[in-house]
Structure 1
Amino acid sequence: MTTPPDPISMLPVQDLDLSAAPGERLPAGALRPCLFIDKDGTLIENVPYNVDPAQLRFMPGAGQALAALASAGLALVIVTNQSGLARGYFTRAQFAQLQDALLRRLRDEAGVRIDDVLLCPHEPDAQGRPACLCRKPAPGMLITAARRHGLDLTRSWMVGDTLDDVEAGRRAGARGLLFDSGGETVWRRSPLREPEAVFDNWAALAAHVLDEVATGAAPAGRPT
């Protein structure tokens, strides 16, 4: 099957973190695998545009699963679309307050340290497509994190509750896992939007990734 044309590559570069610039030298040392994690509907319950730490609820088993994955040597990076910033629903300071609470609770309750959090603050265009290179399903946030932290995208996974998350992972050269919590409602399919596997709980997802890491599964490949 032929991969469809890549509309992302034709979009103008705007507000893309310069750490993702072509030709930048990666950090020295061996590249690490990573689990890229969508926030709303995957790591935490989806409360649209919420920035109130009191409403922060982790998905069952998420903390324990992330602790196990970190112990196996995976980096943990949160990548999240936050168009509420562009829409004026909340400020960066309000989002930072929520982020601080999320990271603190993961550390205190599960012993988990998140390596980085990247967000896209932009709205999609009138057709619902990314108008930048960072909003998922564009891969910009993943590529930025890989260059910033020395991550091996071909041995990494993107997990999220929509096929846009899966597509972002695949476009970056990683694998895509769908966390089926009800976030995907359109189910627009294409080769780049086919997940490696679908899970409805964190325990099974972590077991899958740990098994792949332990058996040295072949690196991800772009569909042809």
Structure 2
Amino acid sequence: MHPLSFYFILLKFAGFDPQSQAYLEAIDYPFRAHAVKAMIAVSSSPCQKSASYVLHLLQKARAALVRHPSIQLNLITPLAAECSFKVKDDKTTKNVIGFNNKGVFTFTDAKKKPTGNPDLLKDLSYDDFCSEYTTGFGGNVFVLDNFSPKNKKLFTSVTSFNIAESLVSTEKSTQCICLRDGLFSAKNVCMVLSSQPKPPTTRRLQKG
């Protein structure tokens, strides 16, 4: 058996389905040294959770270990049906574009407050490991259930705005070294030495 085959069997046993494996491969992408890095995951279904409580803890531990602090995470996924996603009431829930650990983005406040409403965080609830993981490390989650042809322009504008804002909102100092990862190949491995948040943006969505 090829070593990689055995590796993926272990991942599946520990609750890492093909979706999780895709995240691992994306995080391991050979980015250019000192580049501003972002990962945008688009999923047609919520993150699968291990059936066993012990394996679920292993899944969380493994995710924490593979987390890369220099990569800004973004997740576009359905949440409402399977993950008990709710913000305050049904009307507010359907008004949500996305959220992070600083605020909830809504269609109503999109033009004036594209970075979200922090007051709605106390009413936010969901049961999705990938969303929890993404926001836990400063990333954005966008609720695919509320995307429609009618509101796609505003949805995509707020999504792109917050992805860009997350990339420039923190000033990071990194140290990179080049390591061999094959007989004729190498990749840059970077470590964040320090990070300093910048003042909150006052920008609004552009008209048009």
> What TM-score do the two structures reach when normalised by structure 2?
0.30
| Rg (Cα) greater in structure | 2
The two structures have a TM-score, normalised by structure 1, of: 0.28
